[in-house]
Amino acid sequence: MTAEPAGAVKTLRPARTTATRQKLFDASMELIGERGAAGVTVDEIAAAAGVSKGTVYYNFGSKSELIAQLLRHGVDILKARLQASTEPGSPGQDAGEVRDMTAATSGDPLLAMEAMIGQALDFMAEYPSFARLWVSENWRTPSEWQGTFAVLRGELLAVIGAAVEKVALAYPVDSTVSRGSLETAIFGACFVVGLDRQTYNPERTRDQSVAAIMASMRGYVLQQPDPRG
């Protein structure tokens, strides 16, 4: 019910269902990102996915559950990319589409942070609709997806937290800055800067955006020439 190993589910489930669910994910991500969860009808989603309305209910049971699983789906992708940017190549997983960045990041934790923020911004550029859905519904209270968001948010913050932790171990940092608040600020800035770039400032480069968010990390570490000999 929570998070099963992705590989197992996929191969066990009949091919047709998997394809249908993927089509529904793609279609609803697009439509919901544009007009919001409440602004899109199940009929529209079904039509855009090229299936009938009944299929939506056969596969997901309700509009609400479709959206919950859509959120989980998107977070799985984002989390995998963030982790791929800092961990050494994980065995048994095909990381075909995600560029291996371990060469650039195996050394300095600050460079690892930078790679991770870059991955986050790439994700926002590739799935802007997911980012819009997230910021639209995340802070709603009470909400149908309150519990879903709490879990997913925790998973993503844990990944960011681990990267910040490594920086804090390798460098002298400003201990007056609360770790949690900083992680929240970085996490949120990735969404907001990514969305703003797409909506209002398409001319801004990926690197400019990364640099702006990284400024907060450079402000967090105390000024010392180099921590390692």
Q: Summarize as ranges the residues that interact with a second copy (CB under 8 A).
A: 34-39, 131-132, 135-142, 150, 153, 174, 176-178, 180-182, 184-185, 187-189, 191-193, 195-196, 198-201, 204, 208-209, 211-220, 223
Token pair recorded at residue 177: 């800055």
At 221 the three-state DSSP class reads strand
Q: Map the footprint of DNA across residues 7-26, applying CB under 7 A.
A: 13-17, 19-20
Q: Which is nearer to DNA, 62 or 208 (CB)?
A: 62
Q: Which is nearer to DNA, 17 or 106 (CB)?
A: 17
175 lies in the site for DNA, by CB under 7 A: no
42 lies in the site for DNA, by CB under 7 A: yes
Q: Cβ(152)–Cβ(77) under 8 Å?
A: no
Q: Which is nearer to a second copy, 159 or 189 (CB)?
A: 189
Please calculate the CA angle 16-6-40 and round it to the nearest 5 degrees.
Answer: 60
With CB under 5 to 8 Å by kind, the binding choice for 62 among DNA, a second copy, none is DNA
Spell out the residues 6+ positions from residue 144 whose beta carbon is closer than 8 angstroms to its own. 64, 67, 68
Q: Cβ(47)–Cβ(28) under 8 Å?
A: no
C-alpha distances in Å from residue 58, one per residue of 17, 61, 66, 159, 179: 10, 6, 11, 34, 44
The count of residues interacting with DNA (CB under 7 A) is 23
Chain positions contacting DNA, by CB under 7 A: 13-17, 19-20, 40-43, 50-55, 57-59, 62-64
